[in-house]
Amino acid sequence: MRPTTLAAACCLAFLAFGPAVAGALDVGVDTWAGNLAFARDRTATDTTFPGSDYLWGVSAYATQSITDAIGFETGFYSDPILRNIAYTLFNYHASFLTVGVGPFFGFFNDPSSLLAPGISTAITLELPGIVFVRFRSDSSIGGALVQVGNYLQSRSDVSLGFYVPNAICTLALDTKSFTQQAATDTVVDQLTVYSFSADIYKKDVPYRIVTTISYQALSTSFVAATTTAATLNSIVLGTEVDVNLTPTTLLTLGMEGTVYSFGSGVLVGSAQSLLFQATAGIKVNIDSIPYINRLL
């Protein structure tokens, strides 16, 4: 994570948390770190995955309920594939349908292209306590990479969930890509994840556990007259623990790591046996803090 990312995070945290309107207001900060990612300076001639390149990032966000039917979320997040994004998503809930739409901006991802606008859309169909289907798409506006440094970001998530006693089970397909014009070729970083997760909880217990098993395809492609692609295919196990420190403060700790990996394309494999990503975060309900609540 470059120093400009920290500056971006601070600016977006201020923009996200500064204005407040009536309703429940939650704010949170998440962090991640690990070596389950390609180095940003990887070249087309690299054929190994050293596992010694550690990336990290910080995200800050806020969610606000305006009415029972209307709310929004806004903030900044960094991602090993998408880099830096600021976003605002306005949500409308009616019966079994929730629709969200809003802008997002990629920024501080390249000195020559500081701002890349895009749009986010999300749809959730749910029969409460039985089943739900969720769709989300984030995509940059504009499809042409004209100058060196220009980039496009895209993300799509599809999930199907169902409820069983004391657990919510979810099947999901997530894809992310970051495409950037270089001097001699176009570089595409992409991650595709097929996953099954179980969110396990129990009434009156102040914590819940989310276990996940997934197949992930992490790739970097160099597109010129011919395409050179390196792909790391992995089976990944993950665990996340959400702990209610107080009725209004939630602490999240997570870890995912590979149990088996193999390379394809020009990638011959990984030199590191332990590939992982660790996460930590905290979310606080601002309305519950008396002093801040009086200011709001």
Q: Which domains does the chain have, with CATH numbers?
A: 3-295 (2.40.160)
CB 86 within 8 A of CB 116: no
Chain segment 128-158, per-residue pLDDT in tens: 999 999 999 999 997 678 889 899 999 999 9
Mean pLDDT across the chain? 88
CA 248/CA 183 separation, integer angstroms: 50
Whether 219 contacts 231, CB under 8 Å: yes
| Degrees to nearest 5, angle at CA 16 with 21 and 189 | 145
Task: Copy the structure tokens of residue 96.
Answer: 């079994």
Model confidence band, residue 20 (pLDDT cutoffs 50, 70, 90): very low
DSSP letters spanning 82-126 = TEEEEEEEEEEEETTEEEEEEEEEEESS-TT--EEEEEEEEEEEE
Query: Contact at 8 Å (CB) between 151 and 181?
Result: yes
pLDDT tens, position by position, 166-194? 999 999 999 999 999 998 899 999 999 99
Would you state the structure tokens that stand for residue 245, as one six-digit string?
A: 């420190």
In this prediction, what percent of the chain has a pLDDT beyond 70?
88
